Amino acid sequence: MNQTVWIARHGNRLDFVNPEWFNTAQRPYDPPLSEDGTVQAKQLGQRLVGEGIQHIFASPFLRTVQTANQVAAFLDLPIKIESGLSEWLNPDWMTTEPETLPLEVLHESFPRIDLSYSSRVVARYPETSDRVLERTAQTARLLTAEFSNDILLVGHGASVVGATQGLVEGTPEINASLCCLVKLVRQQEEWVMELNGDTSHLSQTENAIRFH
């Protein structure tokens, strides 16, 4: 049976636009979307209308939840929060384990969150580069095995790369820019990449791909 997996990175981050935000933030490693990032998330949602997506999974970080929420509004779907899609918990970027909002608190602002869903994989700080790729690859394999419909994974730069490499043979180079789309189609037992970091749905894109 054919299955399509869409993998998206979140929209632009507030701390990319305003680096000073980090210095006074209550949760400095969990920035929200910037204003243009919200526009990108809406354009992502518009792009995915009519694609037959049945399930949306998102990292628990605020920027990914906000991105997924924009898409979910267009597709009229709930959001499943999946820790396995989390940001790379890189100790060189984060001097302590990053604090994210509890699920119940997120649900108050984003009622589309499905509180009955529990993460299939749990991200644990600190992580090496190899570990984050293993973790996100495992997450993609588990979710595609359990949910046989077409699905959307909303994560971060590292999760887009790891999830894709977890399904596609070899180690394809992924263009994981902000609010990009990867499209993978399963044909029998093989996954074929039909889109690699596509940003044609965005009115504004970045030239350099930033991970941190």
- Supply the CATH number for residue 151's domain: 3.40.50.1240
Q: Please indicate, yes or no, if residue 212 is contained in any of the structural domains.
A: no
Instruction: State the total domains in the chain.
Output: 1
d(Cα 116, Cα 27) in Å, to the nearest integer?
26
Q: What is the largest CA-CA distance in the chain?
A: 51
Angle at 88 between CA 96 and CA 119, to 5 degrees: 95
Q: Please indicate, yes or no, if residue 13 is contained in any of the structural domains.
A: yes
pLDDT of residue 204: 85
Q: Please indicate, yes or no, if residue 206 is contained in any of the structural domains.
A: no
pLDDT mean for each 10 residues of the chain (212 residues): 94 94 94 97 98 98 98 98 98 96 98 98 98 98 97 98 96 94 94 97 78 60
Per the rule left: phi > 0, alpha: psi between -120 and 50, beta: everything else, 52 is left
Q: Please indicate, yes or no, if residue 205 is contained in any of the structural domains.
A: no
pLDDT of residue 1: 65
Strands (E) in 26-169, as ranges, are 55-58, 79-81, 151-155
Q: Please indicate, yes or no, if residue 93 is contained in any of the structural domains.
A: yes
Tell me the sheet residues that pair with 192: 185
d(Cα 162, Cα 40) in Å, to the nearest integer?
22
- pLDDT tens-digit profile of 171-193? 899 999 999 999 999 988 899 99
Q: Please indicate, yes or no, if residue 209 is contained in any of the structural domains.
A: no
Element (H, E) at 182: strand 181-187
pLDDT of residue 212: 59
Task: Give the domain extent around 73.
Answer: 3-198
φ and ψ at residue 165, rounded to 5 degrees = -65, -20
Helix (H, G, I), strand (E, B) or coil at 191: strand
Check if the beta carbon of residue 3 is closer than 8 Å to that of residue 144.
Answer: yes
Predicted TM-score (pTM) of the model is 0.97
pLDDT of residue 166: 97
Helix (H, G, I), strand (E, B) or coil at 9: strand
Angle between helices 129-146 and 157-167 (to 10 degrees): 60
Q: Please indicate, yes or no, if residue 208 is contained in any of the structural domains.
A: no
* Locus of tokens 């791909």: 209
Token duo for residue 156:
């971060």
Q: Please indicate, yes or no, if residue 204 is contained in any of the structural domains.
A: no
